[in-house]
Amino acid sequence: MERIIIKAPDSVSAIMVGARWEAVTKLLPEKGVVIITDKNVFKLYGKNFPKFPVIRIVPGEESKKLKVIESLAGKLLKMGIDRSGFILAIGGGVVCDVSGFLASVYMRGLRCGYVSTTLLSQVDASTGGKTGVNLGMIKNVIGNFRQPEFVICDTAMLRTLSDDEYMSGLAELIKTGIIGDPSIIEMLEENYARVILRDRGLLSELVARSVKFKASVVAKDEKESGLRRILNFGHTFGHAIELQESFKHGFAVASGMELATLFSYNKGLIDKKVCDRVISLLKKYGLLSSYNMPSGIIEEFILHDKKKTGEYIHFVFIEGIGIPCVKKIQLTEVIDFYKKLKKGK
């Protein structure tokens, strides 16, 4: 088991990778605990949950709403949970985002911890302290920073994920390798069969490396004022593709990473060998689907991107595997690159 500590300015969070999730009981207070999970996770693992009251939410993005936070807060009140209470989230990114946000606002803040049950949440969503809900179609606009006291990432739980959910999480793992830890890329290149078979030991090693990298970034920039931007590699194009093509998040990010890699090559930041290496890994894992997004959609999307500043955007490029670089470029440069690429196809 690896224990990775995230030290933010006013909190400490321990991420335990490779631990058995049932061991969570030892980390909980004796009373005042409420478990939040979703119906799928409860069906699979509920019988072994610690013996505390459980609230089940509807699985998926439709639970990331203020209305759900209000209803959950009402349930906590009815259960008599006061400021000494503790919220334990057991689920994927949705359950962790919703529970973390609730913990940050209920009675101005409760203690919380996560058992993170999807690959996406283990490598990304449950590390870093970002919590939040959506407002209509706009993702995560109402949120907060709240570090859970602990996160348990038991990779044995990933065996029950659907293939699509698993592969979608794998794309975020590849992203971490590309921007932060080349050893992740090497392991994914060399161990295809074990990755596809969801080998527990190998996955624990990969998740631990990913968490360590994200933790190092978050410790330097908890509130996303600079360095943390690199975590958005592939996401500028990826978000547009996700909305337009209704791809699952990881698959959209994979296509976004392909474009960001080609853009880096186009600007002379990487050579052809690096460019081909990234794209062939994405292909090897079947993460690149075809899409036909008109350049007008990219234009529309980039002009409304909440990460843009006036006429400019901080775009995440790479200068090599494990070497991200953020450049402030004109929005028109991104749009022109996509137009040129589409024309050439």
**Given the rule CB under 6 A, which residues bind ligand NAD?**
38, 40-41, 44, 59-61, 64, 91-95, 97, 117-118, 120-121, 124-125, 128, 130, 139-140, 157, 160-161, 165
List the structure tokens of 339.
């137009």
Residue 245's DSSP bridge partners are: none
**124/205 with CB nearer ligand NAD:** 124
Q: Tell me the closest approach of the beta carbon of residue 217 to ligand NAD, in angstroms.
A: 12
**184/331 with CB nearer ligand NAD:** 184
CA distances to 82, 101, 115, 212 from 111, rounded to whole Å, are: 11, 11, 14, 23
Q: Tell me the closest approach of the beta carbon of residue 311 to ligand NAD, in angstroms.
A: 28
Q: Tell me the closest approach of the beta carbon of residue 38 to ligand NAD, in angstroms.
A: 5
**208/331 with CB nearer ligand NAD:** 208
Q: Tell me the closest approach of the beta carbon of residue 89 to ligand NAD, in angstroms.
A: 10
**165/299 with CB nearer ligand NAD:** 165
**41/188 with CB nearer ligand NAD:** 41
**139/212 with CB nearer ligand NAD:** 139
Q: Tell me the closest approach of the beta carbon of residue 285 to ligand NAD, in angstroms.
A: 16
Query: CA-to-CA distance for 72 and 96, rounded, in angstroms?
Result: 14
Burial 66-77 (b: 16+ CB within 10 A, else e): eebbeebeeebe
**32/126 with CB nearer ligand NAD:** 126
**83/159 with CB nearer ligand NAD:** 159
CB nearest ligand NAD: which residue?
93
Asked if residues 93 and 124 have their Cβ atoms less than 8 Å apart, the reply is yes
Which backbone phi and psi does 270 adopt, to 5 degrees? -130, 160
CA distances to 62, 202, 228 from 264, rounded to whole Å, are: 35, 30, 19
Burial 84-93 (b: 16+ CB within 10 A, else e): ebbbbbbbbb
Q: Tell me the closest approach of the beta carbon of residue 37 to ligand NAD, in angstroms.
A: 9
For Cα atoms 47, 157, 102, give the angle at the middle one, nearest 5 degrees: 75
Residues 6+ positions from 104 with CB-CB distance below 8 Å: 131, 144, 145, 146
Q: Helix (H, G, I), strand (E, B), or coil: what is residue 161?
A: coil
Query: CA-to-CA distance for 234 and 256, rounded, in angstroms?
Result: 4
Find, among 221, 209, 255, the residue nearest to 235 by Cα: 255
Q: Tell me the closest approach of the beta carbon of residue 168 to ligand NAD, in angstroms.
A: 6
Name the residue type at position 336: D
Q: Tell me the closest approach of the beta carbon of residue 184 to ligand NAD, in angstroms.
A: 17
